[in-house]
């Protein structure tokens, strides 16, 4: 198992290096935005003296590299700065919204992962049948549409015409579990339709790739039922690529919720980021973008470790 820990430390080192590069890109991209932040905050009627004072207060009069390393050192201490829009700590704003985004991602994953694995197994079992073609066509159709289009279609079908679910998923107080499931169903279903195709098709392809293996042929010759052959023999050996694609899609569920949260007015990190961009609240934008990058790197690391542990040859180093 020593090489597993060695791989984990290597991936962590690469992850920190990736986050460092991403932090450079995030900070540089916000610096390249046109206009003067201080002028935008104070408005066009502000005097030059007031703008200069605010620039000095925010540190905008210092060189970019000094401000970057100051920002990075504060981030490493857990200080994301203060919001320019309301003066609240950015960490508090992110903390209140992070739980909502994670809840929505877990809600969508709880629907998408079992559904995708089940459809992938059935599509491999009934390969080239009508069910296989229909499942593939439906999955490709759902993934071909933009997220906002899928969201508006679901709103039209399930909220506008039938009124089964609310079209706006915002909630001011802490809702009960059943109320949350009801109000967040449409955004969770939108994310499910977007990510199901990847996981289903990878599951199908990984299982079909193993069905021609000698040990599968031996299991069939022994008279084992097709479903048992797939679930007991093919699926465990196809876990590595399936785990990878599931982890990547879970990362997307966390980092790719911006459009979905905006459409449904869901109080998550995506909605916070869009509101902050509109208000030119750069500390919040930088903090949210860095959290998204960290989540993506962490889930990729988790996928690598789980895919390695699922393969006995890699675990035992043979």
Structure tokens at 222: 């022994």
The number of CA neighbours under 13 Å toward the Cβ of 36 is 17
For residue 30, CA distances in Å to 55, 60, 65 come to 16, 12, 13
Asked if 314 contacts 304 with a C-beta cutoff of 8 angstroms, the reply is: no
**Pure H helices in the chain:** 2-31, 37-42, 48-58, 64-76, 90-125, 130-144, 147-154, 177-183, 185-210, 214-221, 226-228, 235-237, 239-255, 258-263, 269-278, 282-309, 312-315
Measured between alpha carbons, how far is 120 from 309 in angstroms, rounded to an integer? 22
Instruction: Give the single-character DSSP code of 59.
Output: T
The pLDDT of residue 107 is: 92
The pLDDT of residue 318 is: 52
- For residue range 89-102, list pLDDT tens digits in order: 888 888 888 888 88
Q: Residue 195's CB: how many other CB atoms inside 10 A?
A: 25
Q: Which residues contact 170 (CB under 8 A, 6 or more apart)?
A: 264, 265, 266, 267
**Pure H helices in 184-281:** 185-210, 214-221, 226-228, 235-237, 239-255, 258-263, 269-278
Q: Which residues contact 279 (CB under 8 A, 6 or more apart)?
A: 84, 85
Measured between alpha carbons, how far is 268 from 295 in angstroms, rounded to an integer? 15
The pLDDT of residue 237 is: 76
Alpha-carbon dihedral angle through residues 255, 141, 151, 161, given to the nearest 10 degrees: -160
Structure tokens at 89: 């700590």
Per-residue pLDDT of the chain (318 residues), as tens digits, is 566 777 778 888 888 888 899 889 888 887 777 666 666 666 667 777 777 787 777 777 777 888 888 888 888 888 888 887 777 888 888 888 888 888 999 999 999 889 988 888 888 888 888 998 998 888 888 888 888 888 888 888 888 766 788 888 877 667 788 888 888 899 999 998 888 888 888 888 888 888 777 887 787 777 888 788 877 777 777 777 788 888 888 888 887 788 888 889 888 888 888 888 887 788 888 889 889 888 888 888 887 777 777 666 655 555
Q: Is the dihedral of CA 14, 20, 24, 25 positive or negative?
A: positive
All domains in the chain, ordered by first residue: 2-76 (no CATH), 95-315 (1.10.3720.10)
- For residue range 281-305, list pLDDT tens digits in order: 888 888 898 898 888 888 888 877 7
Structure tokens at 64: 């970019």
Q: What are phi and psi of 174, to 5 degrees?
A: -70, 115
For residue 135, CA distances in Å to 64, 83, 140, 207 come to 52, 47, 9, 16
């Amino acid at each position: 198992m020593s090489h597993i820990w060695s791989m984990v430390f290597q991936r962590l080192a690469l992850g920190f290096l990736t986050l460092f590069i991403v932090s450079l890109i995030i900070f540089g991209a916000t610096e390249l935005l046109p206009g003067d932040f201080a002028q935008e905050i104070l408005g066009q009627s502000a005097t030059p003296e007031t703008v200069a004072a605010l620039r000095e207060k925010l540190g905008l009069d210092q060189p970019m590299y000094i401000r970057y390393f100051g920002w990075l050192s504060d981030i490493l201490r857990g200080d994301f700065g203060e919001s320019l829009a309301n003066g609240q700590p950015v960490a508090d704003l992110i903390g209140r919204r992070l739980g909502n985004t994670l809840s929505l991602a877990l809600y969508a994953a709880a629907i998408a992962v079992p559904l995708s694995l089940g459809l992938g197994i059935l599509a491999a079992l009934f390969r080239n049948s009508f069910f296989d073609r229909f499942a593939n066509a439906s999955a490709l159709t759902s993934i071909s549409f933009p997220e906002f289009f899928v969201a508006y279609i679901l709103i039209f079908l399930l909220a506008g015409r039938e009124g089964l679910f609310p079209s706006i998923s915002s909630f001011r107080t802490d809702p009960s579990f059943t109320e949350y499931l009801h109000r967040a169903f449409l955004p969770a279903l939108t994310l499910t339709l977007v990510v199901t195709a990847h996981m289903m098709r990878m599951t199908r392809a990984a299982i079909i790739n193993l069905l021609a293996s000698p040990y599968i042929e031996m299991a069939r010759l022994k008279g084992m039922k097709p479903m048992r052959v797939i679930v007991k023999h093919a699926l465990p050996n196809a876990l590595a690529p399936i785990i990878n694609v599931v982890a990547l899609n879970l990362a997307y569920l966390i980092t790719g919720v911006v459009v979905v949260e905006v459409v449904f007015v869901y109080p998550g990190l995506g909605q916070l980021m869009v509101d902050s961009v509109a208000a030119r609240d750069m500390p919040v934008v930088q903090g949210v973008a860095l959290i998204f990058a960290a989540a993506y790197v962490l889930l990729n690391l988790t996928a690598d470790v789980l895919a390695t542990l699922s393969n006995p040859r890699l675990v035992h180093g043979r």
